[in-house]
Chains A and B, each alone.
Chain A
Amino acid sequence: MATSTVSSIPLSLSDRLTAGIIALLIGGFLVFGAGLANSAVLHDTAHDTRHSYGFPCH
């Protein structure tokens, strides 16, 4: 699918998928920690951010 556009990313298919999955995992971890994690410290630190982004909060 869409192989013509893939060529502008200078990665082989397996490298591209590896990078993509790593990015998804790290990104998910960061967003979870800042936005959803049920920890008081994280909640209070990120409080205004959670509200601003519309994360379910409280």
Chain B
Amino acid sequence: MIVRTLLAAIVAGLIAGVFMTGAQELRVVPLILHAEEFEGEAPAAGEQPAAQPGTVDPAAASHDQHSSLKAVSPIGTLLDALSPITPAYAHEGEHEEGGIMFGMSRFSGTLIANLVTGSGFALLLAGVSLVIGYPITLRNGALWGACGWLAVHMLPAIGLPPELPGFPAAELGDRQVWWLATVALSAVGLYLLVLREEIVAKIIGLVLIAAPHVYGAPQPSDISSNVPAVLGAEFAVAALATTLAFWIVLGVVSGFINDRFAKA
């Protein structure tokens, strides 16, 4: 029964991941490719944020894909140490197809990443639903999805908008910690706000949602960039719109599968 519940979530995630790949190719990926043209033009000015000076040689980074082998903060090192996936193990790591990760086309990599991410978010959504005891159904699936989008994308985007390659940004580890904390606080806050009856719980929920924004997201010290602002605006909207569609598909499909198969 447990396996069946988990499988239902994974199937929903795979379906949503395929959908997401199609949606990305329409609008988001072309904007990323466009931005990378500017990123490659004058690496000295905009390639790296000032917060990470001199730790990566822009010429060494490949033209269209940058390696993450760059400035590693203490927190980044800690995350790295906690991660079971290291470059050495990546081949046999989380992806069955790991052996061909280097050889895959960019599109295949994106597709697989979307499938993994979709399954991951689907499992997280199902896990939250199971732990708090509110099932995802076909009727409420879209609302589940919308709350997932709020917690994982919209609310964190207030502090850290979806960024294009070449955009200035603060230290990666700091942003990841702020992002994770904001997602967690937003999720708890939404639960208290939406699903709890008590007025006190709703107020605490609002406070939790607001807290990371009052604290403030890590900001870059130098905000100059070669990438045109128009592209950034278009990208931020496109990224939020596609992720909203992704989460609604994920919620509705999860609800449908739960209603149809997981219950039986």
Taking Cβ atoms with an 8 Å cutoff, the residues of A that contact B are 1-3, 5-6, 8-11, 15-58
In the assembled complex, B157 has its CB within 8 A of some CB on chain A: yes
Interface string of B97-139 (1 = CB under 8 A from A): 0000110101001101110110111111111111111110100
State A3–B97 Cα separation when bound (angstroms): 42
State A33–B94 Cα separation when bound (angstroms): 7
Taking Cβ atoms with an 8 Å cutoff, the residues of B that contact A are 1-2, 5-6, 9, 20, 24, 28-29, 32, 65-70, 72, 76, 79-80, 83-87, 90-91, 93-95, 101-102, 104, 106, 109-110, 112-114, 116-117, 119-135, 137, 152-153, 156-157, 160-165, 169, 172, 175-176, 178-180, 195, 239-240, 242-243, 263
Residue pairs across A and B with Cβ atoms less than 8 A apart, 29 shown, are A6-B135, A9-B263, A18-B2, A20-B130, A20-B131, A21-B131, A23-B123, A26-B120, A30-B120, A30-B123, A31-B121, A31-B124, A33-B120, A34-B120, A35-B120, A36-B79, A37-B79, A44-B66, A44-B68, A45-B101, A45-B113, A46-B113, A47-B109, A48-B113, A51-B164, A52-B239, A54-B153, A54-B239, A56-B179
Residue of B nearest to A17 (CB): B131
Residue of B nearest to A44 (CB): B65
A27 near B133: Cβ-Cβ < 8 Å: no
- Residue among A20, A23, A24 facing the most chain B CB atoms (10 A cut-off): A23
State A15–B67 Cα separation when bound (angstroms): 42
B263 near A27: Cβ-Cβ < 8 Å: no
State A3–B208 Cα separation when bound (angstroms): 26
Tell me whether A26 and B123 are in contact in the complex, defined as CB-CB below 8 angstroms, given that A20-B128, A20-B131, A48-B32 are known contacts. Answer: yes
A30 near B116: Cβ-Cβ < 8 Å: yes
A29 near B69: Cβ-Cβ < 8 Å: no
State A21–B132 Cα separation when bound (angstroms): 11
A39 near B110: Cβ-Cβ < 8 Å: no
B68 near A39: Cβ-Cβ < 8 Å: yes
Contacts of A53 in B (CB 8 A): 117, 152-153, 162, 239, 243
Given contacts A33-B120, A38-B80, A56-B160, 13 further A-B contacts (CB under 8 A): A20-B126, A23-B127, A30-B120, A31-B120, A34-B117, A39-B80, A44-B67, A45-B104, A46-B110, A47-B66, A47-B110, A49-B110, A57-B163
Contacts of A37 in B (CB 8 A): 79-80, 83, 85
Q: How far is the CB of B174 from chain A (nearest CB, A)?
A: 9
A19 near B130: Cβ-Cβ < 8 Å: yes
A23 near B9: Cβ-Cβ < 8 Å: yes
- Residue among A31, A45, A47, A55 facing the most chain B CB atoms (10 A cut-off): A45
